[in-house]
């Protein structure tokens, strides 16, 4: 298209943009600017697009646009066997894939009435909690990087690498785990892995105060997050927010405690909450959650050793196994909130329907309301405090 043609097109259509931008601009006020935040903005983590209507430095309206990473995981579930779909779960949430792995196999086990051996339950708890720590560390480093601090992500990745070294032994991978199987787990935790966990717990417990001194008590961080992105309990409930986002608004809800699954009812741990309802509250909840995870790990390792020598798999179904007809729902607590899987079976070797409930989708849905009237710079602080994983949303 020649430059004259482009100029003529702009004269005839001053609004421009795609379908979403055109629809969004219909409600704009005079003398305001429509601004695209993402999908290439670093704080949107690659593939999230948010359309903003701004008046100077202030946001009047915000609307997330989804779909830039849609891979149709739910539809793929309908053409794969019950076993073949397991690796998909590691791609839905690369931050905490074992939670999704667990939600899926848990739903299938519930559908088929399969009991999981006790040692396998301990291994699931230990590996899933380690993965939660790795997920929170990834958020911590990336969030502070979004806010302009570079050093913390180096500390976060240093500690996260130690966790990945442990998880690599029973899972064989370092990111998109899929080691849980229908009826148990793929591999046992050997003595070396158990010793690495025992060494890691006191090491990381000493690191947390350093994180507090370096960042949490830092006046620069406090100024960036305190009172920013206020989310009342009413907003949390209306949008179905869960996880640290809900607990940062004082809502004491955690699937591990409120809808106990596996052997979580055996462990003594607290569900941290904050009633500030702002980004600072969500930050503090995650920091305290890491300390509580260490408590769970200590107790789980002790229980694992007591179950030494026991099997890790129920009699495994064959690859062409057909699940009984019916439906089942299973939910677990991930680093971002409530992860749920609903499976429907018509009695064949492939699921009739797989529906995923992701916390990031609900948490992001509140952004349009929370961001009204805030500074553009604070939009980054709010988005980061939600700890979004975009493949969870575009599923």
User: Are the beta carbons of 334 and 96 closer than 8 angstroms?
Assistant: yes
Kindly give the residue spans of alpha helices, DSSP state H, lying in the chain: 3-12, 19-25, 73-76, 86-92, 97-112, 118-146, 151-171, 191-211, 219-225, 233-239, 244-247, 255-258, 279-306, 359-365, 367-370, 376-385, 390-393
Q: What pLDDT score was predicted for residue 24?
A: 85
* Segment 27-81, tens digit of pLDDT: 788 888 888 887 776 667 768 889 999 999 999 999 998 888 888 899 999 999 9
Q: What pLDDT score was predicted for residue 203?
A: 97
Percent of the chain, pLDDT > 90? 78
When pLDDT is cut at 50, 70 and 90, the band that residue 215 belongs to is: very high
Q: What pLDDT score was predicted for residue 237?
A: 95
Q: What pLDDT score was predicted for residue 309?
A: 83
Mean of all residue pLDDT scores within the chain: 91
How far apart CA 257 and CA 260 sit, in angstroms, is 5
Mean pLDDT for 12-19 is 66
Question: Which residue in 72, 68, 49, 52 sits closest to 60, CA to CA?
Answer: 52
How far apart CA 201 and CA 234 sit, in angstroms, is 37
Cα angle 333, 362, 136; round to 5: 45
User: Are the beta carbons of 352 and 374 closer than 8 angstroms?
Assistant: no
Q: What pLDDT score was predicted for residue 5?
A: 59
Mean pLDDT for 381-395 is 89
Q: What is the DSSP code (8-state) at residue 77? A: T
Residue 113, burial from CB neighbour count under 10 angstroms (0-12, 13-18, 19+): exposed
Mean pLDDT for 163-176 is 94
How far apart CA 73 and CA 353 sit, in angstroms, is 11
Q: What pLDDT score was predicted for residue 201?
A: 97
Tokens found for residue 41: 């903005």
Tokens found for residue 8: 């003529």
User: Are the beta carbons of 111 and 323 closer than 8 angstroms?
Assistant: yes
Q: What pLDDT score was predicted for residue 16?
A: 64
Domains and CATH numbers, the chain: 3-65 (no CATH), 73-393 (1.10.645.10)
- Identify the weakest region by mean pLDDT among 37-46, 90-99, 150-159: 37-46
Mean pLDDT for 197-219 is 96
* Segment 249-292, tens digit of pLDDT: 999 999 999 999 999 999 999 999 999 999 999 999 999 999 99
* pLDDT above 80 (res 367): yes
Percent of the chain, pLDDT > 70? 94
* Segment 287-314, tens digit of pLDDT: 999 999 999 999 999 999 998 888 998 8
How far apart CA 186 and CA 171 sit, in angstroms, is 7
HSE, side-chain direction, 13 A CA sphere, residue 1: 7
How far CA 253 is from CA of 33, 113, 154, 281, in Å, comes to: 39, 27, 32, 15
Classify 180 as helix, strand or coil. Answer: strand
């Amino acid at each position: 298209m020649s430059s004259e043609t482009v100029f003529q097109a702009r004269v005839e259509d001053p609004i421009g943009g795609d379908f979403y931008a055109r629809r969004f601009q219909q409600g704009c006020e005079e003398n305001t600017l429509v601004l695209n935040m993402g999908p290439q903005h670093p704080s949107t983590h690659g593939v999230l697009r948010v359309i903003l209507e701004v008046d100077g430095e202030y946001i009047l309206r915000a609307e997330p646009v989804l779909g830039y990473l849609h891979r149709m995981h739910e539809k793929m579930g309908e053409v794969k066997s019950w076993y073949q779909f397991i690796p998909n779960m590691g791609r839905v949430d690369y931050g905490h894939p074992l939670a999704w792995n667990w939600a899926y196999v848990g739903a299938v086990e519930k559908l088929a009435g399969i009991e999981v051996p006790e040692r396998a339950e301990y291994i699931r708890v230990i590996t899933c909690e380690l993965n939660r720590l790795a997920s929170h560390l990834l958020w911590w480093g990336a969030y502070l990087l979004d806010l302009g601090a570079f050093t913390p992500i180096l500390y976060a990745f240093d500690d996260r690498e130690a966790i990945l070294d442990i998880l690599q032994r029973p899972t064989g991978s370092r990111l998109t785990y899929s080691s849980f199987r229908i009826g148990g787990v793929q591999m046992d935790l050997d003595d070396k892995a158990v010793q690495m966990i025992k060494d890691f717990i006191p090491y990381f417990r000493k690191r947390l105060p350093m994180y507090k001194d370096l960042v949490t008590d830092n006046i620069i961080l406090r100024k960036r997050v305190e009172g920013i992105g206020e989310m009342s309990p009413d907003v949390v409930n209306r949008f179905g927010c869960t996880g640290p986002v809900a607990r940062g608004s004082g809502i004491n809800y955690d699937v591990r405690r409120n809808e106990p699954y596996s052997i979580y009812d055996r462990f003594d741990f607290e569900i941290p909450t904050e009633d500030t309802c702002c980004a600072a509250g969500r930050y503090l909840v995650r920091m305290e959650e890491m300390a509580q995870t260490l408590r769970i790990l200590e107790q789980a390792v002790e229980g694992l050793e007591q179950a030494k020598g026991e099997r890790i798999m129920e009699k495994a179904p064959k690859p062409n196994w057909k699940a009984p007809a019916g439906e089942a729902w299973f939910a677990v607590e991930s680093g971002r909130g409530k992860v749920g899987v609903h499976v429907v079976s018509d009695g064949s070797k492939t699921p009739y329907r797989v529906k995923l409930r992701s916390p990031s989708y609900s948490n992001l849905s509140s952004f349009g309301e929370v961001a009204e009237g805030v500074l553009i710079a604070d939009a980054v602080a709010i988005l980061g405090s939600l700890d979004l994983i975009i493949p969870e949303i575009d599923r």
